[in-house]
A = this chain, B = another copy of it.
């Protein structure tokens, strides 16, 4: 996971990941989006490869790069442990209580909002 964090720290590598988000690209196509030299891109791609965030497939003289979404999970989970204030918990709690309330109402045959309806 250390490699993933390091890989993500560089802005060029982050842009590469964004480029690969929904399409597959060759090294050359990726390089076209940047001003820096192709060897520089090549090394960024190696870092991404070794971190596991990206996989490559050799096709003739080209190399097709694509995301490997599996390796994002570890870092996401690590970060999430600090993010207890994020609304997930609250949304979950809200949904949970709503479901329970609905079940209770079904059981007792009462209407959804007890106070506004008697029979």
Contacts and interface: CB of A to CB of B under 8 A. Distances in A.
Interface stretch (A26-34, A37-45, A104-112): A104-112
A102 interface: yes
Interface in A85-113: 85-86, 91-92, 95-96, 98-100, 102-103, 105-107, 111-113
The oligomer's copy count stands at 2
Interface residues of A, number: 41
Contacts of A84: 69
A114 to B, nearest CB: 12
Given A2-B11, A14-B5, A79-B79, A85 B99 contact: no
Interface in A58-88: 67, 69-70, 72-73, 75-76, 78-86
Contacts of A105: 106
Interface of A: 2, 5-6, 8-9, 11, 14, 17, 21, 53, 67, 69-70, 72-73, 75-76, 78-86, 91-92, 95-96, 98-100, 102-103, 105-107, 111-113
